[in-house]
Amino acid sequence: MEITMKPSIKRMKTVESVFDPSLKKVPKIDLQGVKVWYDDFMAIKGIDMTIKQNSITAFIGPSGCGKSTFLRLINRMNDYVDGFKMEGKIKIDGDNIYKKKVNVEELRKKIGMVFQKPNPFPKSIFDNVAYGLKIQGIKDKQFIKERVVSSLKQVALWDEVKDDLKKSGMALSGGQQQRLCIARTLAVEPSIILMDEPTSSLDPISTAKIEDLIFQLKEKYTIVIVTHNMQQASRISDYTAFFYLGELIEYDKTKTIFTNPEKKQTENYITGRFG
Amino acid sequence: MFKFWGIFCTLIGVVLLVIFIGNIIIDGISRINWDFIIDLPSRKPENSGIYTALMGSIWILLLTTVIAFPVGVAAGIYLEEYSKKNKLSGLLEINISNLAGVPSIIYGLLGLEVFVRIMGLGPSVLAGSLTLSLLILPIVIVATREAIKAVPSSIKDASYALGASKWQTIWHQILPASGGGILTGVILALSRAVGETAPLIVVGALAYVPFAPQGPLDEFSVLPIQIFNWISRPQAGFIENAAAAIIILLGITFIMNGVAVYFRNKWQKKWK
The enclosing domain of A228 has a CATH number of 3.40.50.300
Q: Given pLDDT bands bounded at 50, 70 and 90, which one contains residue A83? A: confident
Q: What angle do CA B145, B146, B151 make, to 5 degrees?
A: 95
Spatial CA neighbour of A116 closest among B156, B149, B154, B271? B154
pLDDT digits (tens, 9 = 90+) for B47-95: 888 888 899 999 999 999 999 999 999 999 999 998 887 888 889 889 9
Helix axes B236-270, B175-195, angle to 10 degrees: 170
A95 assigned to some structural domain: yes
Task: Tell me the CA distances in angstroms from B266 to A65, B143, B271, one per residue in order.
Answer: 42, 16, 10
Residue A188 located in a structural domain? yes
SS3 B264: helix
* Pairwise CA distance, residues B46 & B50, whole Å: 12
**Best A73, A114, A121 residue to mutate vs chain B (most B CBs within 10 Å):** A121
Residues of chain B positioned with their CB less than 8 A from the CB of A119: 152, 154-155, 157-158
CA distance A156 to A150: 10
Could you tell me which residue, A80 or B151, shows the higher pLDDT? B151
Consecutive H or E run containing A36? strand A29-38
Query: How many domains is chain A built from?
Result: 1
Of A77, A82, A134, Cβ closest to residue B160:
A77
Return the pLDDT at A16: 39
How high is the pLDDT of residue B207? 67
Cβ-Cβ contacts under 8 Å for A182 (sequence gap 6 or more): A114, A155, A193, A198, A210, A213
**At CA A122, angle to CA B173 and CA A73, rounded to 5?**
60
Residue A61 CB contacts under 8 Å (≥ 6 apart), including other chains = A67, A242, A243, A244, A249, A269, A275
C-alpha angle A216/A220/A222, rounded to 5°? 95
Question: Does the predicted model carry a pTM greater than 0.90?
Answer: no
- Residue B271 has a pLDDT of 56
All residues of chain A having their beta carbon less than 8 Å from the beta carbon of residue B168 are 135
Do residues B161 and A75 make contact, with C-beta atoms less than 8 angstroms apart?
yes
Query: Among candidates A195, A242, A197, A252, which has minimal Cα distance to A218?
Result: A195
Residues in chain B: 272
Residue A109 lies in a domain: yes
Q: Which domain holds residue A107?
A: 27-270
If contacts are CB pairs under 8 Å, which of residues 74-93 in chain B contact chain A?
A: 85
The number of residues in chain A equals 275
Specify if A3 maps to a domain. Answer: no
Q: Which residue of B has its CA nearest to A134?
A: B164
Q: Say whether residue A229 is in contact with chain B using an 8 A CB cutoff.
A: no
The answer to whether A108 faces chain B, any CB pair under 8 Å, is yes
Asked whether the predicted pLDDT for residue A13 surpasses 60, the reply is no
What is the Cβ-side half-sphere exposure of residue B115, based on CA atoms within 13 angstroms?
A: 25
Q: Is A181 on the interface with B (CB under 8 A)?
A: yes
- Are the C-beta atoms of residues A186 and A128 closer than 8 Å to each other? no
Chain A: closest CA distance from residue B262 (Å): 19
Q: Do the Cβ atoms of A230 and A270 come closer than 8 Å? A: yes
Residues in A touching B160 (Cβ below 8 Å): 77, 80, 108
For A34, list phi and psi in degrees, rounded to 5.
-85, 125
User: Any CB–CB contact under 8 A between A147 and chain B?
Assistant: no
Residue among B155, B165, B176 minimizing CB distance to A119: B155
Per-residue confidence (pLDDT) for residue B101, from 0 to 100? 87
Task: Tell me the pLDDT of chain A averaged across its residues.
Answer: 85
Q: Does some domain include residue A250?
A: yes
**Per the domain annotation, does A22 fall within a domain?**
no
Q: Which of B162, B177, B270 is the closest to A131 by Cβ? A: B162
Residue A64 has pLDDT above 90, yes or no: no
Do B162 and A77 make contact, defined as CB atoms within 8 angstroms?
no
pLDDT tens digits, one per residue of A157-202: 999 999 999 999 999 999 999 999 999 999 998 989 999 999 988 8
Sites in chain B below the pLDDT cut of 50:
272
* For residue A5, pLDDT beyond 60: no
> Is A17 a member of any domain?
no
- Asked, for residue A225, whether it belongs to a domain, the answer is yes
Distance (Å, rounded) from C-alpha A68 to C-alpha A200? 13
pLDDT digits (tens, 9 = 90+) for A99-145: 888 899 999 998 999 999 999 999 999 999 999 999 999 999 999 99
The b/e string for A70-107 (b: 16+ C-beta within 10 A; e otherwise) is bbbbbbbbbeeeeebebebbbbbeeeebbeeeeebbeb
A contacts of B154 (beta carbons < 8 Å):
115, 117, 119
Percent of chain A's residues with pLDDT above 90: 51
- Contact across the interface for A115 and B157, Cβ inside 8 Å: yes
What does the alpha-carbon distance between residue B72 and residue A262 come to, in Å, rounded to a whole number? 60
> Which chain B residue shows the shortest CA-CA distance from A116?
B154
Instruction: Look at B152 and A119 and tell me if their CB atoms are within 8 Å.
Output: yes
SS3 of B231, please? helix
Mapped onto helix, strand or coil, the DSSP state of residue A157 is: coil
Nearest by CB: A117 against B154, B159, B161: B154
Distance to chain A for B131, nearest Cα, Å: 37
